[in-house]
Amino acid sequence: MTTTKYIPLNLPSGTPRRERQGYLRLCRLLSAQTLSESPSRTHDDWMALAKLGDLYVQPTLAAAAHTVIDLVAQGWTVQVDRLGPLFSPPAPRSDRAAEKARIRSQEHLRRDEQLRKPSVRRFVLGMEQPHVHGDRLVSIFDLMRDGRELSAALDEDPIGSTAIRPYVQVVDDSTCTLTGFRLQDIWRYFRHTWSNAYASVPGRSMSILIRDAVTPYHAVIGLAAVSSPIVQIAERDTWMGWETDTFVRGLSEEPTEKAARWVASRIQAQQDEIYVYDLLRDGVLQPSDLTAPTDDAIARLNADAERHRQRHHRSASIRQVRSIDRGDWVARAQTDLFRSKRAAALAEALDIRMVLGSHLLPESSVEGLRHALQDARARTQLRRLVRRARGERVGTVIADLTVCGAIAPYNALAAGKLVGALAVSPTVLEAYQRKYNRPSEIASSMAGRPVVRESRLSLIATTSLYGTGSSQYNRLYWPADVLGGPAGQRMGFHELGRSRSYGTSHLTDESVKALLRFSVLKDSSVRVNSLFGEGVSPRLRKVRLGLSALGWPTDDLLKHGRERIVYGVPLVSNLTDYSIGVDSTPDYLLDTEVEDGDQRIADWWLVRWAARRAAQEPVRDAMQAHRLTRPITHGARVRLPESDGAVDQLPLMAQPS
């Protein structure tokens, strides 16, 4: 039995009486609304109903009001007693359909907010407008396949080998030669048909189109994106065997010469990849501290890190930081941001060297590793070293499949499984390695010289949108020899565990902006500049700062109550040792140089999934519903929500059937 949890969300003490009264009016209105009213009303609607007035001059009320409107829209309930409002998070739902509806409601909140923006509407409508390319008029509709035509093609060829011919196209800055559209614009348009909002991903990211060479304009079958991973996912890290306690326990059970050499090399590498000239110049360090560190040297470094961290947040030189030439690594290293990061990282590296190095430097040995594992202080430092190694490589040898799915009418043929398989194909792995075989911005800024991180992937992970399961990744395995791997083995999406998610997906941009503005007005010394290198997820840090400034419980309010299934596709047999860096070379489960990988996967998918689906009458009916004759009722078309009339619908030219 689930116990109801009540969370009091009052305005901070000292808030003007007018703002407190307005907040209580809003909470009473929210407590009386029905479930169907919340999604249909915008933030402005609620503000007007509560007669809150000009929120720009009421920053506390603005931050609180926007946030609680979002919470109620996600199923939170509110009641107001004489001491103020009490909020209750939605209880988990055992009914799968109801839980999916709740999650879709969460996602649609931000997605529809985005689609109402005039700039987004102009983009969508502009893509739908025909333009001259060569001697023809072309629009985004030419990149959709009419379901009736696809159904007819499958009638002529039930196996599908001549009806559909998928291939991978990695998105870059180039233009589609068949339509004249930028590849990025094609990808973005169809991404807007997803249930959740489109957003750029910081760090590494590579977008992928899956297209159909059978059609005149090579219609889009689906989309994928391989991006920098979430740094900490316990289920993934434990399954991989490189979670700190799991990895250290493995070393204890079987210490080896190879492991001892790796630990010793990591001790030195952490130190060597930090620019130290200015730290020596300014007297923070003496040269001898680098080989024989002391507690005093570590304390000076930590103090220097804090001093420059404060200077970074106080300074108004963010524009100057961004204007530094990308290749001027010394100038970047000497900014307050990276001076702070370097001093803190060197303090940790020297602390590890001082304790752990006594067992493994200058000469590593299995016996030295055993002694270190038996020494409580050295074991603690070993755990820090493992965390640092994992943190360094998690964003380079692991990637997340942040977008993966098919569009109509191909989705009726389980083409989401095709997209998933092609997203880990030799074509994608080779393109990813080629794209990121270049100096790492953060590592190079820390070292004051170009540092190239590993770009050969060992695992691609993803999570389901719904915790109740994922038909797209379920049973998605294929024989390894399809891609030149060893016979008798298989590749595919393994279920790694279930994670209760935590984040900001249930809050709109309006709430984030109001929370950030309030936190800055309350404490101007704390800022989130969205500057690459400051830390992960600027959006999350902004929300945390705002909720903390209100005095509200951040952990409770950042739980969006959504369980997700974590999946992973291991690409190498030496997953643990290569991922953490013990092995320098990946032992791939597929031939990364196979030339016809796309076609091999497509052939497997056609036989295993598409042909079977195409033989079913309901599937044919579903495909045929997606038409490109006027009025266009195609499922791959972006459905714009009603707006306030700021952008008018442009006239559409129907495409021939």
Q: Quick one: pLDDT band at residue 529, thresholds 50, 70, 90? A: very low
DSSP, collapsed to helix, strand or coil, labels residue 492 as strand
Q: Quick one: pLDDT band at residue 230, thresholds 50, 70, 90? A: confident
Q: Is 134 left (phi over 0), alpha (psi -120 to 50) or beta?
A: left
How many alpha carbons fall within 13 Å on the CB side of residue 183?
18
With 50 as the cut, is the pLDDT of residue 531 above it? no
Q: What is the pLDDT of residues 206-229, one digit of tens each?
A: 999 999 999 999 999 999 999 999
Instruction: Give kind and range of the element (H or E) at residue 158.
Output: none
* Residues 366 and 250 reside in one and the same domain: yes
Q: How many CB atoms lie within 10 A of CB 27?
A: 24
With 60 as the cut, is the pLDDT of residue 615 above it? yes
* Residues 383 and 509 reside in one and the same domain: no
DSSP for 500-522, please give it: E--SSTTS-HHHHHHHHHHHHHH
* Residues 384 and 529 reside in one and the same domain: no
Going from the C-alpha of 33 to that of each of 83, 100, 550, the distances in angstroms are 21, 22, 25
Q: How many CB atoms lie within 10 A of CB 656?
A: 7
What value does the mean pLDDT take over residues 70-81? 88
What value does the mean pLDDT take over residues 351-378? 95
What value does the mean pLDDT take over residues 235-254? 94
Query: Is 598 in contact with 168 (CB distance < 8 Å)?
Result: yes
Give the separation between CA 422 and CA 476, rounded to whole angstroms.
12
Q: Which of 380, 396, 412 is the last residue of a domain?
A: 396
Cβ density class 578-589: b for 16+ within 10 Å, e for less: bbbbbbeebebb
What value does the mean pLDDT take over residues 91-99? 66
Residue-level pLDDT at 468: 59
Query: Does any domain span residue 608?
Result: no
Residue-level pLDDT at 470: 67
Q: φ, ψ for residue 506 (rounded to 5)?
A: -90, 5
DSSP 467: T
Residue-level pLDDT at 99: 66
Computed over every residue of the chain, the mean pLDDT equals: 88
How many alpha carbons fall within 13 Å on the CB side of residue 165?
8
Q: φ, ψ for residue 567 (rounded to 5)?
A: -120, 155
In this structure, of 10-19, 83-92, 321-330, 400-409, the range with the lowest mean pLDDT score is 321-330
Q: Quick one: pLDDT band at residue 49, thresholds 50, 70, 90? A: very high
Give the separation between CA 428 and CA 487, rounded to whole angstroms.
22
Which range of residues forms the domain containing residue 351? 241-396
* Residues 361 and 506 reside in one and the same domain: no
* Residues 253 and 379 reside in one and the same domain: yes
Query: Is 446 in contact with 329 (CB distance < 8 Å)?
Result: no
Structure tokens belonging to residue 375: 């020494």
Q: φ, ψ for residue 430 (rounded to 5)?
A: -65, -40
With 50 as the cut, is the pLDDT of residue 654 above it? no
Q: φ, ψ for residue 263 (rounded to 5)?
A: -60, -45
Cβ density class 467-488: b for 16+ within 10 Å, e for less: bbebebbeebebebbbbbbeee
Report the range out of 31-40, 532-541, 561-570, 579-588 with the highest average pLDDT. 579-588
Residues in the chain: 657
With 50 as the cut, is the pLDDT of residue 648 above it? no
Instruction: Give kind and range of the element (H or E) at residue 221.
Output: strand 220-227
Query: Does any domain span residue 461?
Result: no
Identify which has the larger pLDDT, 270 or 555.
Answer: 270
With 90 as the cut, is the pLDDT of residue 653 above it? no
Q: What is the pLDDT of residues 636-647, one digit of tens each?
A: 999 998 765 444
Structure tokens belonging to residue 383: 């755990």
Query: Does any domain span residue 551?
Result: yes
Identify which has the larger pLDDT, 41 or 593.
Answer: 593
Give the separation between CA 106 and CA 486, rounded to whole angstroms.
43
DSSP, collapsed to helix, strand or coil, labels residue 555 as helix
Structure tokens belonging to residue 639: 């459905």
Instruction: Give kind and range of the element (H or E) at residue 392.
Output: helix 376-397
* Residues 376 and 511 reside in one and the same domain: no
Residue-level pLDDT at 324: 78
Q: Quick one: pLDDT band at residue 527, thresholds 50, 70, 90? A: low
Give the separation between CA 206 and CA 169, rounded to whole angstroms.
11
Q: Which of 521, 541, 560 is the last residue of a domain?
A: 560
- Report the domain count for the chain: 2
With 90 as the cut, is the pLDDT of residue 312 above it? no
With 50 as the cut, is the pLDDT of residue 530 above it? no
Q: Which of 332, 365, 396 is the last residue of a domain?
A: 396
Please give the angle made by the CA atoms of 4, 8 and 14, to the nearest 5 degrees: 180
Give the separation between CA 321 and CA 227, rounded to whole angstroms.
25
Q: Quick one: pLDDT band at residue 384, thresholds 50, 70, 90? A: very high
What value does the mean pLDDT take over residues 272-293? 96
Query: Does any domain span residue 337?
Result: yes
Give the separation between CA 485 and CA 11, rounded to whole angstroms.
61
In this structure, of 109-118, 218-227, 383-392, the range with the lowest mean pLDDT score is 109-118
Give the separation between CA 616 and CA 512, rounded to whole angstroms.
47
Give the separation between CA 549 and CA 526, rounded to whole angstroms.
11
Query: Does any domain span residue 578?
Result: no
Nearest alpha-carbon partner for 379 in 245, 538, 518, 516? 245
Identify which has the larger pLDDT, 587 or 641.
Answer: 587
Partners of 497 in the β-ladder? 566
Most distant CA pair in the chain, distance:
79
Query: Does any domain span residue 386?
Result: yes
* Residues 369 and 513 reside in one and the same domain: no
What value does the mean pLDDT take over residues 145-167? 93
What sign results for the dihedral spanned by CA atoms 311, 316, 322, 327? negative
Query: Does any domain span residue 289?
Result: yes
Q: What is the pLDDT of residues 316-327, one digit of tens each?
A: 555 566 667 778
pTM of model > 0.85: no
Q: Quick one: pLDDT band at residue 561, thresholds 50, 70, 90? A: low
Q: How many CB atoms lie within 10 A of CB 119?
A: 9
First-residue to last-residue Cα distance in the chain:
56
Residue-level pLDDT at 40: 64
In this structure, of 166-170, 220-224, 438-442, the range with the lowest mean pLDDT score is 438-442
What value does the mean pLDDT take over residues 308-334? 77
What value does the mean pLDDT take over residues 159-174? 94
DSSP, collapsed to helix, strand or coil, labels residue 447 as helix
Query: Does any domain span residue 320?
Result: yes
Give the separation between CA 300 and CA 186, rounded to whole angstroms.
53
What value does the mean pLDDT take over residues 553-558? 85
Partners of 569 in the β-ladder? 460
User: β-pairing, 459-463 with 398-406?
Assistant: parallel
Give the separation between CA 3 and CA 329, rounded to whole angstroms.
55
Reduced 3-state DSSP string for 138-204: ECHHHHCCCHHHHHHHHHHCCCCCCCCCEEEEECCCCECCCCCCEHHHHHHHHHCCCCCCCCCCCCC
